[in-house]
Structure 1
Amino acid sequence: MGHTGFVMRSAVRPSPLFLVILAVTVAGALLTLVEQQIALTTGIVLLVIGGWAVSLCLHEFGHAAVAFRGGDHSVRAKGYLTLDPRRYTDPVLSLVLPMLLLLAGGIPLPGGAVWINRHALRSKGVESAVSLAGPLTNLVLGALLVTSVALFQPPLGLAAGLSYLAYVQIIAFVLNILPVPGLDGYGALEPYLPYQARRYGQIARPWAPLALFALLLGLPELGITVLSDTLFGLTGWIFDLMGGEALYAQLGQLEFRFWN
């Protein structure tokens, strides 16, 4: 395990593209400190979009890092340990589409994917851990963002942007742990399911997440809100439990979706 850890650390080399996205996120945070409305709004938009792109990379890196430690060393050759978003499948489906849905409906579609050789993993427990590593990364990021606002008490604009980004991370966690084929919650359960159930899950995997998001976005338009109410209610409960400031998150969302 010690040798594996050393090899993995030597393989973790953040790509220049990831560093550029991180720099955009930091620039957005700095813009929120400028005392002009256009700078505040632009800063929050850049902070949230850049921060979400960074979290997508870290989410997939989490899957890959646990898989590497669990026996699948092919993730290194595939470049999954470089945090390069281009390595995580199609850039449009993995980055652009999730960002558009975040902008349109405030719901972060899980983006990206890493292809794990599950036959190389040591046990069913490791398979489950690989699936859970991604959403737990979002949860930890949300907690760190909430904690940073509480500890450092930044100016209102920055606090609003960080709080909304934290809220988005928690939504991503809640969505990803749902036991829906194609999402990580199902992936954590899949190794323990009977063969027939896993077969049906494989068939549903490509379209089940999109059907879920269509329901989340479309049902409220028909006056049916139980699904979205449950999702946002659980997200709000976790956010409050962490000590998040709901008013900051609401302000951040208003500035992020300024056209509304």
Structure 2
Amino acid sequence: MGHQGGRGERQISSVFLGIFAIMAVTGWAVWTGYAASPGLAVFLFVTSAWIVSLCLHEYAHARTALHGGDLTVGAKGYLTLNPLKYTHALLSIVLPVIFVILGGIGLPGGAVFIERGRIQGRWKHSLISAAGPLTNVAFAVVCTAPFWLDALDGVPLAFRYALAFLAMLQVSAAILNFLPVPGLDGYGVIEPWLSYRVRREMEPLAQFGLLAVFALLWIPGVNAFFFGAVDGLMSALGVSDLETYCGRDLYSFWRDTDGFCAVPQD
């Protein structure tokens, strides 16, 4: 078996490049106001950017695992950024996109299969789990940079709203991912430090963790608390509730709106 794997194992897939191209073209359309429907352009831009972030999230897990000692991630195609190579394409890509469309929640998916037996050391295991949500944190910082750098002059309103909504998805994904719930990355961070007995008891719950979190978010009190935390972080990053609201409003172009967030078209 090749130690480093073939070059093709690390070549960026055409699937990812295609999604990235959609993000770039629709981002340009939102920026220039070229699109006939700014809402549709924002929808395509944010959705493709969200999928790009999901691919980078899973890549971060795989790349960290590779350096940690799991040399099988290359052969599985995890280093190509191809979302179709994930263990659960449905959980990793389809469900998170549906959650965004339905409720504007950046819900993380479950994804790459790491052969944990090949990795020695608790810190390495924790870092592999943390690498994914840290990518969402980095994505949120980049999206909000124009806001906290006070560099919004010349940024078209529609693009500004789209960035605000995209950043909100990244912040909510990072918070949810870091929850210490079995099946989520936050639990993966602390799991190596738990006793064998506790880990055995928690193992069967992993498959229900994500669904349990989603169900809890339907409880009004929990939902209000969660989005209060998200709004607080967004505010710290310089993004107002209004900008996030208008981003979601534009994104949901199929809904009847009051025109409150209408953007001027060139």
Q: TM-score, normalised by structure 1?
A: 0.89
Change (3 A) 1:182 1:229: same
Residue of structure 1 equivalent to 2:175: 174
Structure 2 residue 151 is matched with structure 1 residue 151? yes
Q: Is the 8 A contact 2:5 2:75 kept in 1?
A: no
**What per-residue deviation string (whole Å, max 9, x for no partner) do you get for residues 45-95 of structure 1?**
011110110011000001011111111111111111100001112333321
Change (3 A) 1:46 1:9: farther
Residue of structure 2 equivalent to 1:228: 223
Q: Is the 8 A contact 2:69 2:119 kept in 1?
A: yes
Q: Is the 8 A contact 1:33 1:158 kept in 2?
A: yes
Q: Is the 8 A contact 1:94 1:113 kept in 2?
A: yes
Q: CA deviation at 1:124?
A: 0.3
Q: CA deviation at 1:239?
A: 1.8
Among 14, 19, 22, the residue aligned to 2:20: 22
Matched positions, count: 249
Q: CA deviation at 1:247?
A: 2.5
**What per-residue deviation string (whole Å, max 9, x for no partner) do you get for residues 146-177 of structure 1?**
10454364111111111110110010000000
Q: Report the secondary structure of 1:110's partner residue.
A: coil
Residue of structure 2 equivalent to 1:251: 246
Q: Is the 8 A contact 2:164 2:243 kept in 1?
A: yes
Q: Distance in 2 between matches of 1:179 and 1:90?
A: 21
Q: Is the 8 A contact 2:39 2:251 kept in 1?
A: yes
Q: Which moved more, 1:117-126 or 1:237-246?
A: 237-246
Q: CA deviation at 1:135?
A: 0.4
Q: Distance in 2 between matches of 1:243 and 1:72?
A: 39
Residue of structure 1 equivalent to 2:264: none
Q: Is the 8 A contact 2:161 2:243 kept in 1?
A: yes
Structure 2 residue 99 is matched with structure 1 residue 104? no
**Paired amino acid for 1:74:** T
**What per-residue deviation string (whole Å, max 9, x for no partner) do you get for residues 72-130 of structure 1?**
11111111110000111233332122111111111122124111111211310000000
Change (3 A) 1:62 1:232: same
Q: Distance in 2 between matches of 1:37 and 1:30?
A: 9
Residue of structure 2 equivalent to 1:74: 72
**Paired amino acid for 1:87:** K
Residue of structure 2 equivalent to 1:213: 214
Q: Report the secondary structure of 2:73's partner residue.
A: helix
Q: Is the 8 A contact 1:163 1:252 kept in 2?
A: yes
Q: CA deviation at 1:196?
A: 1.9
Q: Distance in 2 between matches of 1:35 and 1:52?
A: 21
Among 45, 56, 59, the residue aligned to 2:57: 59
Q: CA deviation at 1:230?
A: 2.2
Among 210, 234, 238, the residue aligned to 2:233: 238
Gaps of 5+ in 2: 257-266
Residue of structure 1 equivalent to 2:261: none
**Paired amino acid for 1:82:** T
Residue of structure 1 equivalent to 2:40: 42
Change (3 A) 1:9 1:233: farther
Q: Report the secondary structure of 1:151's partner residue.
A: coil
Gaps of 5+ in 1: none
Q: Is the 8 A contact 1:32 1:39 kept in 2?
A: no
Residue of structure 1 equivalent to 2:263: none
